[in-house]
């Protein structure tokens, strides 16, 4: 190992900094999954009968299907009876909660994560829904948003306060039969965020949800539903962390986006779940179904993701381009270090005329990390004049990691145009040396080069998030380049 490699490998082995556990009194369901547990979850949330029925239908369907294993990742069997499906911080006061009543321990935990739930601090004008384990513990700026008609609350509240909207859109993009993990989520989902932007409203601030897994042995199954009516606009951010634990934890979320005529939804994720230790012990299995539907003409859905955490990431934020002239975008940075595995990409389903999609994927592999881009561009017969441009770039740091690309292209209309570009490169000794000769130490140089590689994606992120993503990338790289 050369001196450079040694320094680089030290750089990439820095510790995960959100790995602490907070001691919160928790109300949890018994371990394991059966109809009683589902009934318990539903009753804890005072859900209407139709929702319980929907859950049970999903559960019964789930029992008939098998866990898929086609992804390019390897892991031991998941024992679904060894997971706790509902864990909630115990409320200290009964009755409706306001932000003033949130357990100080929880506020302290979020402060430690760098998220302020205190509205008076008005941090960068972002409204936050904070979710711990299975439930939402608080949502900021609700009143201010309500003044312009925007509904932003926890999913559980939405079920109670806006049942018609939930009933209309739940499962409309990701049906409960969609896939194994989405079906499981439909049966047991516990909370999540709900956003509704009415006709013609441009949401006055960024909306965000911060997910925190705290409790051991729990799975997090949240459900997010965002609806933008005609001519509405919203930018939504999602962040996540979890404590360091030896055992793997399952995170199987579902996100559904609906954009009506000329509506725009911009969804950004910075995913930093605990990735496991350097030998691959522990970490989150992040098996998530994210899909948006451009239901109306001229609508637009844009996914931007920065995936640096999780032991295994398996997700394909997708767009169904149903409305004519609608636009789908996917911008992704996925970094795998140590023993992390990522199989991620997107699906762009072109149905409407003159629909357009752009895919830009940047995969970075370090240590023993395995990084796979998997994407589908499907142009249906109806999608005359559809266009897609795909670019997949992989960057390898070291000689023991891997980058894989599986693009699927299915064109059913002769007037469509589909382009695919791919590249794989290594961070070169020459680049590193050039930086060092200018006085820039190896680790700064490596993170500068990697950030440069990701720049096209980062510029799609909201400003504060872009800065955060750059920092996160540098931290996640520590100990990996070789």
* CA angle, 162 then 164 then 167, to 5°: 110
* CA angle, 96 then 227 then 158, to 5°: 20
Q: Is 156 exposed, middle or buried (0-12, 13-18, 19+ CB in 10 A)?
A: buried
d(CA 221, CA 213): 10
Q: Where are the alpha helices (DSSP H) in 116-213?
A: 142-147, 155-161, 163-169, 180-188
Give the one residue of 52, 409, 431, 475 binding other proteins; rule: CB under 8 A: 431
Kindly state whether residue 424 participates in binding other proteins, applying the rule CB under 8 A. no
By beta-carbon proximity to other proteins, the closer residue of 232 and 403 is 403
Kindly state whether residue 440 participates in binding other proteins, applying the rule CB under 8 A. yes
Of the candidates 182, 303, 311, which has an alpha carbon nearest to the alpha carbon of residue 242? 311
Give the one residue of 79, 100, 147, 430 binding other proteins; rule: CB under 8 A: 430
d(CA 388, CA 279): 39
In angstroms, what is the minimal distance from the CB of 401 to other proteins?
20
* C-alpha distance from residue 210 to each of 54, 133, 149, 304 (Å): 27, 11, 23, 16
d(CA 385, CA 318): 20
Kindly state whether residue 422 participates in binding other proteins, applying the rule CB under 8 A. no
Give the one residue of 74, 434, 463, 471 binding other proteins; rule: CB under 8 A: 434
By beta-carbon proximity to other proteins, the closer residue of 90 and 455 is 455
- By CB under 8 A, which span of 58-66, 210-218, 253-261, 435-443 interacts with other proteins? 435-443
By beta-carbon proximity to other proteins, the closer residue of 411 and 466 is 466
- By CB under 8 A, which span of 98-106, 122-130, 262-270, 432-440 interacts with other proteins? 432-440
SS3 track for 177-204? CCCHHHHHHHHHCCECEEEEECCCCECC
Name residues contacting other proteins, limited to 441-460 (CB under 8 A): 441-442, 444, 448-449, 451-456
Give the N- to C-terminal CA distance of the chain in Å, as an integer: 8
By beta-carbon proximity to other proteins, the closer residue of 2 and 120 is 2
Of the candidates 309, 300, 299, 292, which has an alpha carbon nearest to the alpha carbon of residue 261? 299
- By CB under 8 A, which span of 124-132, 247-255, 342-350, 427-435 interacts with other proteins? 427-435
Give the one residue of 66, 69, 143, 438 binding other proteins; rule: CB under 8 A: 438
Kindly state whether residue 3 participates in binding other proteins, applying the rule CB under 8 A. yes
By beta-carbon proximity to other proteins, the closer residue of 126 and 427 is 427
By beta-carbon proximity to other proteins, the closer residue of 310 and 361 is 361
Kindly state whether residue 11 participates in binding other proteins, applying the rule CB under 8 A. no
In angstroms, what is the minimal distance from the CB of 163 to other proteins?
48
Are 187 and 62 in contact by the 8 Å Cβ rule? The answer is: yes
Number of residues that bind other proteins (CB under 8 A): 25
- Catalog residues that contact other proteins under the rule CB under 8 A: 2-4, 428, 430-431, 433-442, 444, 448-449, 451-456
């Amino acid at each position: 190992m050369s001196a450079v490699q040694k320094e680089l490998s030290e750089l990439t082995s820095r510790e995960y900094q959100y790995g602490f556990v907070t001691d919160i009194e928790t109300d949890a369901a018994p371990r394991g999954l059966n109809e009683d547990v589902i009934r318990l979850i539903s009753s804890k949330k005072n859900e209407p009968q139709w929702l319980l029925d929907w859950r049970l239908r999903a559960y019964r369907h789930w029992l008939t299907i098998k866990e898929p294993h086609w992804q390019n990742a390897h892991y031991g069997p998941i024992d679904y009876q060894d997971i706790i499906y509902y864990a909630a911080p115990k409320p200290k006061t009964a009755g409706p909660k306001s932000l003033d009543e949130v357990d100080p321990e929880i506020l302290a935990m979020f402060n430690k994560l760098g998220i302020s739930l205190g509205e008076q601090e008005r941090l960068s004008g972002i409204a936050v829904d904070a979710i711990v384990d299975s439930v939402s513990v608080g949502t900021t700026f609700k009143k201010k948003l309500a003044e312009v008609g925007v509904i932003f609350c926890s999913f559980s509240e939405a079920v109670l306060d806006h049942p018609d909207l939930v009933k209309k859109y739940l499962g409309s993009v990701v049906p409960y039969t969609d896939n194994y993990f989405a079906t499981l989520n439909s049966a047991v989902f516990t909370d999540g965020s709900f956003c509704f932007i009415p006709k013609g409203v441009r949401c006055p601030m960024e909306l965000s949800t911060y997910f925190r897994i705290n409790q051991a042995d729990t799975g997090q199954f949240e459900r997010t539903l965002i609806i933008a009516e005609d001519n509405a606009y919203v930018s939504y951010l999602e962040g996540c962390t979890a404590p360091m634990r030896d055992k793997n934890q399952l995170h199987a979320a579902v996100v559904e986006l609906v954009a009506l005529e000329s509506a725009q939804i911009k969804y950004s994720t910075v995913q930093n779940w605990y990735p496991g230790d350097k030998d691959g012990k522990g970490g989150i299995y992040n098996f998530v179904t994210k899909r948006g539907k451009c239901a109306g003409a001229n609508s637009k859905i844009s996914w931007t993701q920065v995936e640096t955490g999780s032991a295994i990431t398996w997700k394909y934020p997708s767009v169904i381009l149903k409305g004519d002239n609608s636009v789908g975008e996917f911008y992704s940075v996925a970094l795998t270090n140590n023993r992390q595995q990522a199989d991620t990409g997107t699906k762009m389903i072109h149905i409407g005329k003159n629909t357009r999609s752009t895919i830009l994927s940047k995969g970075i592999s370090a240590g023993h990390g395995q990084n796979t881009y998997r994407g589908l561009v499907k142009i249906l017969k109806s999608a005359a004049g559809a266009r897609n441009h795909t670019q997949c770039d992989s960057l390898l740091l070291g000689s023991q990691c891997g980058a894989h690309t599986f693009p699927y292209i299915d064109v059913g209309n002769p007037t469509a145009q589909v382009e695919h570009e791919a590249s794989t490169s290594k961070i070169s000794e020459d680049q590193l040396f050039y930086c060092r000769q200018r006085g820039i130490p190896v680790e700064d140089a490596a993170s500068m080069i990697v950030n440069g590689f990701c720049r096209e994606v980062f510029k799609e992120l909201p400003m504060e998030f872009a800065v955060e993503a750059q920092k996160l990338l540098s931290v996640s790289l520590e100990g990996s380049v070789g």
